Amino acid sequence: MRFDGLSILVVEDELLLRKRICANLEGSGADVTGAETLKAAGTWLKDMGADFVLLDINLPDGIGTDLLSDECARDANIIVMTAYGSIEQAVESMRRGAVDYISKPFDAEELPLVISRALQAKHSARIDEHRNTDIRSSTEFFFGAALKPLKSNLEKIIQSDKRLQTDLPPVLLSGETGTGKTSIARWIHYNGPRADKPIVEVNCSALPEALAESELFGHERGAFTDARTSRIGLFEAAKGGSLFLDELPSLSPPLQAKVLTAIEEKRVRRLGGNKYIPVDARVIAATNQDLNRAMAEGRFREDLFHRLNLFAINIPPLRERGNDIASLAELFLKRLCKRHKLPPKRITPLGKRNLISHHWPGNVRELAHELERAVVFEDSNTLDFNNLAPSAAPAKSRTRETNDWFNEEFIFPESGFSMEDAINRIINHALEQTDNNVSAAARLLGVSRDYIRYRLEQPKK
């Protein structure tokens, strides 16, 4: 059992026992320090800190459990050691904040198990913040005939994962918004060798720039104004499992560099910390952007791209999947009728043609929403989706590049056009898309935060 990078303070006045405990834990890779008094322990925690404290109750200068209420020990995970095996004493210690207890006499080899159990509880609490309670039910993915080559490549990745077992290479998923990148990430995780470990999901575009580093890599107490306690990052929380970084290019280039370091060196350093912590998380990254363009514009690091691009999977948009659109719609329709407790509905041949001919700018997500609307609002048990026909994209627009937002059919009004108003509308749209996160909106628009703030501060005409 390894505890590389973990700092442990052993507070025990019996010299031989303290040395035996320290020697046993040092063999596991931990950074172990001994203290024989309550005062020495408090001084060490105040100056250096510790991840874990093994605390004897009876010490020469006081009762060990007094340390539980000391400010200097707030960040430490305290395991109480008691010579009397008193249940009352142990319960009181746990009530005051101890994470576990162990009764003397004990075999020093028992300690790694106690520490491991406490570590697992700490990781589980962090993972619960990002847990999707219905995640396993959302891992099914309809491949169909159109995505048969994609499924073949995914299965090859899984076969490689099962051969390697450890040090799994990152995976890069690309595709338009709504094509199913999150579902594919879950499919990779739950079909691979880490299925029994956690998958931690984070939308990078939703992380405020000031907190993104702390969220991903953790922080120590005092690292910034509101950092009243230490906190593990998501790289640590995903230990042994997978870390899904959705919209990774939304991170700033300096943070992208730290993500690259974490992937390559398999270690992180918490914000405000001075030691490296080993991590073992399989990174699955996703983007809806053209990364070649992002690199050319300096928004995405080339070295990170080449590190991620080993196992690159591009998910085609729904409009390119032909007859599979109708098959996927029938699958969704069956599930939705069951969910809403309604009799089964049927898609007519005309309805299938309308579904297949629609442009689907929102991809699979738009299809699912369209079907749910039909299930709820259509009284008939047959669906023809005639309302989709007018919204199908013109043939000319279908040949445009995926990321080309410009409508070539637009005609300037004879009364004139306000460029200033158009810029403001674009900025407001970007802010709506990013929940008013100025930094994220600036990254989407390829401008500085100061530029957006300047535009927002201008008086409205």
Please check whether residues 195 and 107 belong to one and the same domain. Answer: no
- CATH number for the domain spanning 434: value is 1.10.10
Question: Which residues 6+ apart lie within 8 Å of 342 measured at CB?
Answer: 375
- CATH number for the domain spanning 42: value is 3.40.50.2300
Tens of pLDDT along the chain (461 residues) come to 778 778 899 998 888 888 888 888 887 878 899 999 999 998 888 888 888 899 888 889 888 888 888 878 777 888 888 766 566 777 778 888 888 888 877 877 778 888 888 887 777 666 666 555 444 444 568 898 899 999 999 999 999 999 998 899 999 999 999 999 999 999 999 999 999 888 999 999 988 888 899 999 988 877 777 776 778 889 998 989 999 999 999 999 999 999 999 999 999 999 888 888 899 999 999 999 999 999 999 999 999 999 999 999 999 999 999 999 999 999 999 999 999 999 999 999 999 999 998 999 999 999 999 999 999 999 899 999 988 744 444 444 444 444 566 766 567 776 778 888 889 889 988 888 888 888 888 888 888 888 888 888 887 66
Give a yes or no: residue 242 inside a domain.
Answer: yes
Please check whether residues 65 and 154 belong to one and the same domain. Answer: no
3-state secondary structure of 445: helix
3-state secondary structure of 8: strand
Residue type, 345: K
Please check whether residues 121 and 148 belong to one and the same domain. Answer: no
- CATH number for the domain spanning 180: value is 3.40.50.300
Please check whether residues 157 and 265 belong to one and the same domain. Answer: yes
Please check whether residues 148 and 293 belong to one and the same domain. Answer: yes
Domain finish residue from 269, 289, 314: 314
Please check whether residues 192 and 301 belong to one and the same domain. Answer: yes
241: how many CB neighbours lie within 10 A of its CB?
21
Give a yes or no: residue 251 inside a domain.
Answer: yes
Contact 328, 347 (CB under 8 A): no
Please check whether residues 119 and 193 belong to one and the same domain. Answer: no
Domain span holding position 445: 419-457
- CATH number for the domain spanning 367: value is 1.10.8.60
What is the C-alpha separation between 74 and 220, in angstroms, rounded?
12
Give a yes or no: residue 1 inside a domain.
Answer: no
Determine the length of the chain.
461
Predicted model pTM = 0.63
pLDDT recorded at residue 131 = 56
Please check whether residues 301 and 216 belong to one and the same domain. Answer: yes
Please check whether residues 210 and 164 belong to one and the same domain. Answer: yes
pLDDT recorded at residue 103 = 80
* Burial class of residue 223 in the structure, from the number of CB atoms within 10 Å of its CB (0-12 exposed, 13-18 middle, 19+ buried): middle
Output DSSP code: residue 415. T
Please check whether residues 233 and 262 belong to one and the same domain. Answer: yes
What is the C-alpha separation between 428 and 445, in angstroms, rounded?
11
pLDDT recorded at residue 139 = 53
Structural domain total, the chain? 4
Question: Which residues 6+ apart lie within 8 Å of 319 measured at CB?
Answer: 325, 358, 359, 360, 398
Please check whether residues 12 and 116 belong to one and the same domain. Answer: yes
What is the C-alpha separation between 434 and 137, in angstroms, rounded?
28
C-alpha to C-alpha distances, 258 to 245, 250, 273, 308, 347, nearest whole angstrom? 13, 14, 14, 14, 50
Please check whether residues 184 and 272 belong to one and the same domain. Answer: yes
Strand partners, 201: 244
Give a yes or no: residue 412 inside a domain.
Answer: no
Chain-centroid distance of CA 158 in Å reads: 21
User: Alpha helix (H) ranges present in 48-136?
Assistant: 87-95, 111-128
Domain finish residue from 125, 157, 181: 125
Give a yes or no: residue 402 inside a domain.
Answer: no
Give a yes or no: residue 131 inside a domain.
Answer: no
Give a yes or no: residue 381 inside a domain.
Answer: yes
Domain finish residue from 125, 152, 176: 125
Element housing 103 (H / E)? strand 100-103
Give a yes or no: residue 376 inside a domain.
Answer: yes
pLDDT recorded at residue 75 = 75
Q: Which residue, chain included where needed, has tokens 């992208």? A: 256
